[in-house]
Structure 1
Amino acid sequence: MKVLEGIRVLDLSIAMSGPFAAMKLADLGADVVKVEPLAGEWQRHASAGGAQGNEVNASFLSLNRNKRSISVDLKNDEGIAAVHRLVETADVFLQNYRPGVAARLGVDYETLRAIKPDLVYVSVSGYGETGPYAQRPGQDVLLQAMSGALFSAGRPGEAPSPAPFFLVDAFAAYSAFEGAMAALFHRLRTGEGQLVQVNMLDAIIAAQMQEISVHTVGGVPQTRSEHIHAHSYIRAPYGVFPTSDGYLALSFAEPAVLAEALDEPRLAGLDAERDGFTRRDLISGLVEEHLRRGTTDHWLEKLAAAGIWCGPVYDYDALLRDPQVEHNQSFVSYDHPTEGRVTTPGFPFRLTATPQSVERPAPRNGEHTREVLRDLGFTRDDIRRLEKEGVVHAAPAGDA
């Protein structure tokens, strides 16, 4: 038996943060029913990085394993009635509409709490449910830019560089997952449901717990460096440095140890904690000058032998081939009915007694519409009529 077996989650979210949170619940055994519009969630049809599938694109596949799909017109009275009937059987409801949309559709917390008083309702927004920015688009790079993080690295005068992945979406997803689990635990002890509100802005602020506290508590300003340095609140050298044939990551090296490894006497008398901050550019500049003279493999071997923390800089192909990644089984592969063999990142934590697994591939749009409606007591004739009238969509009979 899996940890969340017997828990039903209704996932009405789109894009990344909501679907990712719901998938984490599904991976732990929850019955996650993805409620989609008749044409399917838009991310089914929007290619991520140009990775267009046969019927389902890579981004959708990566965020929706272990779910069932029901396709319903929420603007139709019978459609919303069917969803309300589904809410009666649910434990968790998750949505990431812009503030006000859920109420217009009749799936806001107050409406659904009247149907299911012990419901855990998770609402994910960009900036919060209320306030001056409530209606702004909660897009990842916009929130990275607003978060303050981008001025903790890079060179003065250069444009800040955002993270090359959806960092804020990921932190919001983990926050929504944590909130849902905490509220389920509270319900287990008290029988009470509750509203869980998550916003992307607070999630990325909380993720910078150490950095922002150095500023607010310690009064230390963010200071960008003229030379390579990846984090304004960590002593030099710290970051990714070029070698003669590639790049190398370097972290927390003692200047005296570096002086010997690089044969650079100018580093020998420097103090790590004092000069590592006050003479950051000098240290980083000298390290960069020397590392350019040798290959990555040469420096990895020499620096590691001296006890200096260093490592390779991978692209995705190299990551997939890494022996530790293979040992950890960091990726999962499964067969999809239209996309063939699918490989995606796996599970970030492991449970020894109740391990996670891929039980279902990402569903086709409406693949489980008939199955879910039958579970709710709809007759075959009822379902046929709803399909004919365009209230629900079901995958072709041979595929459902």
Structure 2
Amino acid sequence: MTEKSTQDKSERKGALSRFTVIDASRVRAGPTAVRLFADMGARVIKLEIPPGAPGGDDMIGGRDHNRADYENLHRNKESLTLNMKSPEGLKILHELVRRADVFIENFRPDVKDRLGIGPEALRVINPRLVYASISGFGQDGPYAGWPGFDSIAQGMGGLMSVTGKPGEGPMRVGIPIADLCAGHFCAMGILAALLEREASGEGQWVQTSLLEAQIAMLDFQAAQWLIDKKVPVQSGNEHPLTVPTGVFATKDGYLNIAAIGQTMWTRLCEALEVPHLIEEPGMGSDPERVQNRDKVNAAIQPALSARTTAEWTERLLKAGVPCGPIHRVDQVFADPQVQHLGVAWPMHHAELGEVALVGQPMRLSRYPREQPPRAAPEQGADTSDILSELGYSAAQVAELRAAYVV
């Protein structure tokens, strides 16, 4: 059993400690948004289906599927089991909403209204509530009812068409980037709505989707089409607009090089001791090098193969050429700069022992990350305490458990 999530309520610290978030989301996008609030000190109450109740969640990322993922995604939260389909469960939810600042869900668009927990219904109970929704494809429109999954959004959002080597077919990236970005964009929307509430006194409905988040992340690739009507294509490890920028073999591994523009190209050639390439026909400018990509890469590869990755990293950085090694995940966390930044967040877990989670990639000077995270709660670990706060007696809680309401 993990340590009780509610033990530090009176001592909760962090920039967002004055806020309470009700998390009715699941899988990854919603929990990713909520994790930011939990890590920044907000009280996050995660709603889960009661044990034994129909419709339990067996989705990817659950406790039984991947404990490491679950711990990393749901740290610093409290767990309340609640059957929102029952009248008694809906009553409890309404009582929570009266006290909350944020409610977040990622049901299919029609489900929340069918359950009576849509934005209009809950904001009648609490007009200051910021209601946040993450969907696969938007709250309305021809695809609104489609189930939203990361890989599908990667494909429909254009990412897979520009990922991978030319001619090898579409390629999914190695992380659930549509889920993660939708979660981060949702968190930003919630924060904006909370700021606006300080002026208006009212909450509002924040919406995003995996599809919109994925398209937004296309950035310059999308702009090529919207402005220049150019359809971007796969370029593998190469940058589509500048050469040489990509992965090159060294004596003992690989090196990322980003020689962007003429100044960097000149520095690179001098560091590689091939200065004759600077004005070589077809290599004298970025547009020319893009047109002759294979020729340029082949010209510099023999020099790069003569030294190790570490040697080239030191030499090129000294010459002012952006570069860096390509790490496996274990090498990432062994890197001295990563260790200096404290990206791994140490935690003691009652069952797993001394482990670490991935910390938030931002720093606030007045709220340093000093305390270790609280372990992800066991299902329903905080149900009794939360209901007690709402005025329910132990006998009433027992009755609710027996009826699978909680």
- TM beyond 0.5: yes
Residue 279 in structure 1 maps to residue 272 in structure 2: no
Q: Deviations over 1:69-118 (max 9, x none)?
A: 10112222212221122111111000011121112222111221121122
1:2-13 matches, cutoff 5 A: 2-13=14-25
What's 2:74 paired with? 64
**Which residue of the other structure, out of 131, 135, 138, is the alignment partner of 2:141?**
131
Shift of 1:251: 0.6
CA-atom RMSD, angstroms?
A: 2.0
1:141-220 matches, cutoff 5 A: 141-220=151-230
The amino acid that maps onto 1:238 is T
Contact 1:47-1:58 within 8 A present in 2 as well:
no
Contact 2:243-2:286 within 8 A present in 1 as well:
no
Contact 1:176-1:198 within 8 A present in 2 as well:
yes
SS of residue in 1 equivalent to 2:134 = strand
What's 1:15 paired with? 27
SS of residue in 1 equivalent to 2:228 = coil
Q: Deviations over 1:251-302 (max 9, x none)?
A: 1253333333334466221224332322222212333444334322232233
Residue 380 in structure 1 maps to residue 394 in structure 2: yes
Contact 1:153-1:230 within 8 A present in 2 as well:
no
CA distance in 2, matches of 1:154, 1:24: 31
SS of residue in 1 equivalent to 2:385 = helix
CA distance in 1, matches of 2:106, 2:163: 31
Shift of 1:320: 0.9
What's 1:398 paired with? none
Shift of 1:318: 0.7
98-107 or 324-333: bigger deviation: 98-107
The amino acid that maps onto 1:382 is Q
What's 1:243 paired with? 250
What's 1:308 paired with? 321
Contact 1:66-1:358 within 8 A present in 2 as well:
no
Corresponding residue pairs, total: 381
Contact 1:171-1:204 within 8 A present in 2 as well:
yes
CA distance in 1, matches of 2:87, 2:77: 25
Contact 2:343-2:360 within 8 A present in 1 as well:
yes
364-373 or 124-133: bigger deviation: 124-133
What's 2:89 paired with? 79
Identity within the alignment, %: 36
CA distance in 2, matches of 1:136, 1:339: 38
Contact 1:76-1:391 within 8 A present in 2 as well:
yes
Shift of 1:120: 0.5
The amino acid that maps onto 1:242 is A
**Which residue of the other structure, out of 22, 37, 45, is the alignment partner of 1:25?**
37
Shift of 1:359: 4.8
What's 1:109 paired with? 119
CA distance in 1, matches of 2:64, 2:300: 44
376-385 or 39-48: bigger deviation: 39-48
CA distance in 2, matches of 1:156, 1:346: 35
Shift of 1:349: 0.9
What's 2:7 paired with? none
What's 1:45 paired with? 63
CA distance in 1, matches of 2:237, 2:284: 18
**Which residue of the other structure, out of 309, 312, 323, is the alignment partner of 2:336?**
323
The amino acid that maps onto 1:252 is A
What's 2:345 paired with? 332
CA distance in 1, matches of 2:127, 2:350: 38
Residue 389 in structure 1 maps to residue 399 in structure 2: no
What's 2:381 paired with? 367
What's 1:231 paired with? 239
Contact 1:235-1:280 within 8 A present in 2 as well:
no
Distance 1:153 1:266, change over 3 A: farther
**Which residue of the other structure, out of 357, 360, 368, is the alignment partner of 1:347?**
360
Shift of 1:203: 1.0
Q: Deviations over 1:175-230 (max 9, x none)?
A: 110011111111111111111111111112112233311332234442445xx643
SS of residue in 2 equivalent to 1:217 = helix
Contact 1:304-1:310 within 8 A present in 2 as well:
yes
CA distance in 1, matches of 2:320, 2:390: 63
Contact 1:147-1:205 within 8 A present in 2 as well:
yes
Length-normalised TM-score, structure 1: 0.89
Shift of 1:244: 3.1
Contact 1:168-1:203 within 8 A present in 2 as well:
yes
Q: Deviations over 1:151-198 (max 9, x none)?
A: 335433112322211111111111110011111111111111111111
Shift of 1:380: 1.5
What's 1:51 paired with? none
SS of residue in 1 equivalent to 2:300 = helix
The amino acid that maps onto 1:240 is V
What's 1:222 paired with? 232
339-348 or 257-266: bigger deviation: 257-266
SS of residue in 2 equivalent to 1:257 = helix
Length-normalised TM-score, structure 2: 0.88
CA distance in 2, matches of 1:335, 1:121: 34
Shift of 1:65: 1.1
The amino acid that maps onto 1:95 is E
